[in-house]
Amino acid sequence: MQKKDKKILITGHLGFIGFHLAKRLIHEGHSIMGIDSLNNYYSQKLKKDRGKVLDGINGNYISKIEDISNEEIIKTLKQFKPDIIVNLAAQAGVRHSLTNPEDYVSNNISSFLNIIKYAKDYGIEKIVYASTSSVYGGNTDFPFSENDRVDDPLQFYAVTKRTNELMANAYNDLYKINFIGLRFFTVYGPWGRPDMSIHKFTNLIINNKPIDVFNYGKHSRDFTYIDDLVEGISLVSLKKNKYLSNNYSEIYNIGGDHPITLNNLIKEIEKNLGKKAKKNLMPLQMGDVKKTVSNIKKIKKHYGFSPKTSINEGIKSFVDWYKSYY
């Protein structure tokens, strides 16, 4: 790792991934500014409780509630003068993008453009940003590789994330801003989003309510435990990479490397809850894919990233947290 006194801006720091990353980097001694719009896509209480955890850490940390899709955010960035920006602020959720595409333009494209404008005018070491495995769309070549075609998205969420990747490439070519994009694969763990399947299933099973199981539970996902993901983000943000030149716009897959079916995921939740699920077996949803598998050879080679957490360990940690929080 490089020296421990970096000034790091994390957008979306009250979101699931941003919270865990901020917590780690504050503990490591970095100067952290977190910016979050605190929108109401899901429970503001959960976000505020994450914020209370961060506030309780003894470290150099500033939290701002601002909308980065507004150009006024550049003034805040000028005051902090970050060395590195980790852009995790986004409108998440594949389903929501089918009915509310306009949310994704402002939150995923306009916001990213403002971050880039700051970097262009005031200089920065690098921008690390969240992309998604959804950019692989209907790809049926497994595992997904960074060199695969990504011009066949199945929902608007993926369109906006692929747009971010193209924006990064263009601004790197034009202005020599360094970018690293990370294609996340189905992240889960404590403090996770309530709209994610593990969270929803746990809640419904505990409350003796049926769960909707799409594609009859046969589709599989490359679930990535949050601590493993944060380790990967930290590595690409702080570690020197001998494989990159001084000027780069690079993409990496970051996944759990062990996909499982939805049916097996449900069995793991049932085991940890000591309760059987009541299932509504249903066909595949519009905009969904049957399988995701990450090829993580590139990030392993360049940064030494290797996920450590099994699905058994990860689900146990999530269920333990869920029971203690709710």
Return the active site residues.
157
Token readout for 40 is: 């109401």
Question: For residue 256, which of 194, 188, 193, 169 has the smallest C-alpha distance?
Answer: 188
- Alpha carbon distance 19, 84 (integer Å): 17
Evaluate whether 15 touches 88 at the Cβ level (below 8 Å): yes
The residue behind tokens 């601004």 is: 171
Q: Which of 301, 313, 314 is nearest to 196 (CA)?
A: 314
> How many Å apart are CA 148 and CA 293, to the nearest integer?
13
Q: What is the DSSP letter of 40?
A: S
3-state secondary structure of 1: coil
